[in-house]
A and B are shown apart, each in its own frame.
Chain A
Amino acid sequence: MIVARHISKSYRKQRALHDISFQVPEGSIFGIMGANGAGKSTLFEIMTTLLPNFKGELKICGMDVRLHKKEIHQVIGYVPGRFSLYEELTTEENLSFFARIYGCSVTHIHKNHASLWESLSPFAASQTRYLSGGMKQKLAVCCALVHDPAILFLDEPTTGIDPRSRHELWQELSKLRKRGVTILASTHYLSEVNNMDQVLFLHQGEQLLLDTPQRLLDDYDRELVSVTGLHPYKLFTELKNNAKMHTCYLSGKSVRIPLDDQIKEDDIRSFCRNARLTSAVVQRVSPGIEDVFIRHLSQIKQPVTSWK
């Protein structure tokens, strides 16, 4: 459905994207993750034809984004990162405005996306400025669907909305996926990775990882040990100061240590005993998606924090 080859983009001296390549099969959810400024929005602009000035090649449904803008516009829907609808218009008015521009009717939204519309319909006549963040986002999705696009782009659809609406939005997206819509969504909530068929992790414009969430977890090549104790910070500094365990990091209240030739689980136990960290509990854990990302991130850059 979407084929990207060696995409790069620079703004004046600043590099926004560097050599990004991926493919998105039809009817799948493709996730793009990364921090603010990692290049997610730039990638979305390129894919939605808003930014034609880039290096590399990008095809949507076999059409080049630089040559077939009008045709591509017919097959894509876009939900921008920021709520971008008319706040002084009502829910219904916003929807029919976009429907009329596309020259189609809103009834197909009411019919084909009944569950989405059902939650919105109580607010049909209220100005969208009074809607909650979750409702606004659902409306934005509706507006992007009026012309029945084959591909839906969502730039951080769940940022700033409450966990419940986040959950519901992902449910709606997986319903769309079942109807055959291809979905590209960015997020910086790691927990949302589970909803994705493939995930692309961008870091400062570079393609850090690209795989299915399951394979990312399977490919984690280290044994992982978690140490919990009374004062996470104290525990962490003690462990970090040991040269063998300098790769450790805090994950919430626990300190995680990837094992390698230098360090074994028993070494950690004896270290805790010797350092009189009596309350410390050392246990083997299976890695989560956060551990995967941190492992890859720490391989490419020195951590922000340095310890003496």
Chain B
Amino acid sequence: MEIITTHELGKSFGSLKAVDRVSMFVEEGEILGILGANGAGKTTLIKMLCGTLKPNEGSGQVAGFDIAAESGSIRHQIGYMSQSVSLLENMTVTENIEFYGSIYRMNRKQLTTRWNELQGMVNLGSHRHKLASELPSGLRQMLAFVISVLHSPRLLFLDEPTSGLDPLSRTDIWQQIYRTAYQGTTVVMSTHYLDEAWYCDRLILMENGRIKAQGSPEYLDSLAGGKGLVQLFFMSQP
């Protein structure tokens, strides 16, 4: 079943077409990776799908809601982790969790149950009294991830979730991404790491606001003649 479908979706800022007539779909439960250079339209597309940015043209549905008209309802269905991690820097790990829990309208019992469940899997418990600004980068990112899945969303958007991390922290985040997907959450993510592109079920490659190619990593690799995904960025026509 498709949890996201868009039809000729577009967004321009002045004369710049950030996203240009994009038609795409996301299957429920899959991990979709969006590739592309900075300015290719990845973040704009993700923001429109999250319902935080209104499209100029075209239409789309996320979890059964129209992205233009029912963005409020979409926001209850999704989790979002942005590139610039939106932690409350001078608050502790627990305070961060409590704050976002209340934003997601979870009551104390729900929050405690969920937090205990997540603490079992990520090693944040021993740092819970530390300020977010004092955490090493790997744990910060993990905290941001935990916050984005706190309310068990149906759909999870990740904007470069592993950028700037050491290899071990990266595999930790990926474990969590796989776990979340395994439990039925659909994951849409953007990444700069081409090796991580291989970890996704399906890829969308964007250039100048348009979709240049899409398909499984293996399919895209075959498009590039088996010489690595980086070759896709050198091809003028897919």
Question: Which positions in A face B, CB cutoff 8 Å?
Answer: 34-38, 132-134, 159-165, 167, 188-191, 203-204, 231-234, 236, 249-253, 290, 293-294, 297-298, 301-308
A134 to B39, CA, bound (A): 11
* Residues on A with beta carbons closer than 8 Å to the beta carbon of B182: 231, 233-234
A136 to B230, CA, bound (A): 20
Q: Is B136 an interface residue (CB 8 A)?
A: yes
A38 to B167, CA, bound (A): 12
Stretch from B1-9, B47-55, B86-94, B192-200 contacting the other chain: B192-200
Taking a contact as CB atoms under 8 Å apart, the answer to whether A249 and B171 are in contact is yes
> Given A162-B37, A204-B136, A252-B196, is A34 in contact with B166 using a C-beta cutoff of 8 Å?
yes
Least CB distance from A284 to B in Å reads 20
Among A133, A231, A234, A252, the most chain B Cβ lie within 10 Å of the Cβ of A252
Taking a contact as CB atoms under 8 Å apart, the answer to whether A307 and B168 are in contact is no
* Residues on B with beta carbons closer than 8 Å to the beta carbon of A167: 230, 233
Taking a contact as CB atoms under 8 Å apart, the answer to whether A233 and B181 are in contact is yes
Taking a contact as CB atoms under 8 Å apart, the answer to whether A35 and B169 are in contact is yes
Taking a contact as CB atoms under 8 Å apart, the answer to whether A252 and B166 are in contact is no
Q: Is B234 an interface residue (CB 8 A)?
A: yes
Taking a contact as CB atoms under 8 Å apart, the answer to whether A162 and B178 are in contact is no
A290 to B171, CA, bound (A): 10
Interface residue from B137, B166, B169, B175 paired with A250 (Cβ < 8 Å): B175
> Given A160-B38, A236-B178, A252-B199, is A36 in contact with B165 using a C-beta cutoff of 8 Å?
yes
Interface residue from A134, A298, A305 paired with B123 (Cβ < 8 Å): A305
> Given A190-B195, A250-B174, A252-B198, is A38 in contact with B166 using a C-beta cutoff of 8 Å?
yes
Taking a contact as CB atoms under 8 Å apart, the answer to whether A297 and B175 are in contact is no
Taking a contact as CB atoms under 8 Å apart, the answer to whether B122 and A162 are in contact is no
> Given A164-B234, A232-B178, is A304 in contact with B193 using a C-beta cutoff of 8 Å?
no
The interface bits of chain B over 192-225 (1 if a CB of A lies within 8 angstroms of the residue's CB, else 0) are 1111101100000000000000000000000000
Q: Is B36 an interface residue (CB 8 A)?
A: yes
Least CB distance from B167 to A in Å reads 4
Task: With CB as the reference atom, state the residue of chain B lying closest to A289.
Answer: B167
Taking a contact as CB atoms under 8 Å apart, the answer to whether B37 and A161 are in contact is yes
Taking a contact as CB atoms under 8 Å apart, the answer to whether B138 and A191 are in contact is no
Could you list 8 further interchain pairs (A-B, Cβ under 8 angstroms) beyond the known A160-B163, A290-B195, A304-B142? A132-B39, A162-B40, A164-B233, A189-B193, A252-B174, A252-B198, A297-B166, A298-B168
What are 16 A-B residue pairs whose CB atoms fall within 8 Å in the complex?
A34-B166, A162-B233, A163-B194, A164-B230, A189-B193, A191-B194, A203-B166, A232-B178, A233-B178, A233-B179, A250-B171, A252-B174, A253-B198, A290-B195, A301-B168, A304-B168
